[in-house]
Amino acid sequence: MTSDRSKAGARRRPQRHLPLQVLVGFLVVYFLVPFWWVIVNSSKDAPGLFGGGNTLWFAERIDYFGNLEQLFTYDNGIYGRWILNSTLYALAGGVGATVLAVMAGYGFAKYRFAARRFSFSLVLGALMVPATALVIPTFMMFSEFGLTNTIWAVILPSLLNPFGVYLMHVYARDAVPDEILDAARADGAGEIRTFLQVAFPLMRPAVVTVLLLSAVASWNNYFLPLAMLSDNRLFPVTVGLGLWQGIASANNAGSTSLWSLIIMGALVSVIPLVIAFFTLQRHWRGGLSVGGLR
Amino acid sequence: MIEKSAPRTQEKTHKIRGKVRLREHLMGWLFVGPFGIVFLALLIAPLAYALYLSLFQKKLIGGTSFVFLDNYVKAFTDPSFLSGSWFVIRFSLVSIPLQIIVALALALILDAVTSMFTRFSRLMIFLPYAIPTVIGAVMWGFLYSKSFGPLSDIFGLLGTAPPDFLGSNLIFYGLVNVVTWQWAGYYMIILYAALQGIDPALYEAARMDGAGKWQVALRIKIPLIAPALLLILVFSLIGTLQFFNEPQILRSLAAGTIGPDFTPNMYAYQQAFALANFNYGSAISFALGGIVFVGVYAFLFFTRKRRSFL
């Protein structure tokens, strides 16, 4: 379905409007300026940063490797730990949320079971509950069970992804014909096998989208880990850099080296997701249009 | 495919279909069950617990006592909560239309003009979405800062003082800019995907009828992507009302400007974690969640597009 549409788009005659392209060009510069600033300034040492040189161009001394080495050795390599923690939270939260969403979306779309309409409207209602409103109550609940300040405090709440269920429901409803499922059942395949071998491959574009969206949401999460974790060795990179930034701003003069660590840290922390987005482009773009469908 | 399955899901479930097999009930719940458990444990239970906690107050003398709605009365007469709520409402009214206009204009241009450059632009404009909001705020904090930012260089050339986006006069626009930079590209991609789904034959037909490019954009493209527009409107509304990350991060750079009660969410965080006032923090969280839920629901109801989006 989606592929027909993108083919239709490609068939349109290419048109070039120079003024519009120039306008887009200006906007691209705007969207890239912060990246450029970080790329340039992560090459500078403290004198380069504070020496009053051009802030949008390289200083005389370009020292990426020195800064990288500092970043990964500072405080016994705590930054590397943060990156690993973020990766763990994003993978566990992303994969877990996706598995649950795919199963639930398929179940809602393909089975008529008791209380189905009621439970689905609960899921739709949950789309409108702001995630952060749950953080303090969840913290209170977890502290009763001694779960705060553990990795589970960050991973478990990430498993809840009602939007993923909604996306998978829409996609399974439209992209998995009942006839194929019935044919598989008639051939003697059980329900689980029908789901895994027949339905799942058809749902793959939406699965990749949901996986990417939930992994990004976990990777980007700040409020939840900030509230849940007090041991800085469990921090994800967002909370860690926020901590450094707070320290660096609090004693501006004494921590010039921390600033260059933060800049380098910001650069390193965005690289994995940028790579993931570029390499997985083909997969997520098809799935993103699902949410906007009627 | 859509026509075939839509009536089945909407109408036939009402009727009792011949014999509803127990097996189908079981399989349905088997698939939905795991999510259902997470839903109950991590959404319903915390909400219920927050509601319960919010009905109590903890005092130094006399311990915890049941106060019914006192915490809510306190919240809705608390200047900190009210000014924070007023801020996020004003912020939504300015930043959401701006983000959507930028995203829509870009999506329409990138849909109509195809070249190597626009394909490249599409990715670059989307790039900020891959950046955690915390890192985005850190980056813009650098750009705004007097010591590392380019603003003083640029405005120094013009011989004027640089604007201070971290000062109390401009912090509002400083944050509008960060949020627009972060999300406009994501919304653009959603709208672009919707535009690509329109059948080009419709444009041909409109051209035959004498419609110009602007008319095609305004009368055909925008109405046809209305569901996608509504979707991003709802997302941005939910996101903006729970504003936390960016002001929390910029706070350390703009200490005098952004107080701990800058947004309702920051205030709830302060009450719960800095002041250990969990009952009142829960009440604020619950009140905020309630406001967002009711607000979004009312919005969807009044736009009468509920069916078309959900």
Sequence-separated (6 or more) residues with CB below 8 Å from residue A166: A105, A123, A124, A127, A291, B310
Distance CA B102, CA B301 (A): 26
- Give the per-residue pLDDT at A85: 93
Residues of chain A with pLDDT under 70: 1-16, 51-52, 251-256, 283-294
Tens of pLDDT, residue by residue over A226-277, are 999 999 899 999 999 988 888 887 765 555 578 888 888 889 988 888 888 7
Domains of chain A: 74-292 (1.10.3720.10)
Reading phi first (left if > 0) and then psi (alpha if -120 to 50, else beta), residue A54 is in beta
Report chain B residues whose CB lies below 8 A from the CB of A33. Answer: 143
What are the boundaries of each domain within chain B?
18-46, 69-130+176-309
Token pair listed for B197: 């789904």
Topology of the domain comprising B69-130+176-309: MetI-like fold (1.10.3720)
CB-hemisphere CA count at 13 Å for A65?
0
Residue with the two structure tokens 């940063």: A49
Q: What is the ipTM of this complex?
A: 0.82
- Give the per-residue pLDDT at A55: 73
* Strand partners of residue B57: B65
Rg of chain B taking only CA atoms, in angstroms: 25
Residues of chain B with pLDDT under 50: 1-19, 306, 308-310
Distance CA A94, CA A89 (A): 8
- Give the per-residue pLDDT at A4: 43
- Give the per-residue pLDDT at A287: 60
CA-nearest residue to A9 within chain B is B196
Q: Identify the sign of the CA torsion A127, A128, A130, A134.
A: negative
Distance CA A101, CA A159 (A): 9
- Give the per-residue pLDDT at A235: 93
3-class secondary structure, A164: helix
What residues of chain A, 119 to 178, have a C-beta less than 8 Å from chain B? 119, 122-141, 156-157, 159-160, 162, 165-166, 173-175, 177-178
> If you write DSSP's letter for every residue of B240-306 in order, what string do you get?
HHT--HHHHHHTTTSTTTS-TTSSHHHHHHIIIIIS--HHHHHHHHHHHHHHHHHHHHHHHHHHT-H
Residue with the two structure tokens 């992804």: A161
Distance CA B104, CA B150 (A): 29
Distance CA B305, CA B228 (A): 11
8 Å CB contact of B134 and A112: no
State CA B40 to chain mean position distance: 24
- Give the per-residue pLDDT at A289: 59
Q: Is B301 on the interface with A (CB under 8 A)?
A: no
Of B25, B46, B296, the CB nearest to A114: B25
8 Å CB contact of A35 and B127: yes
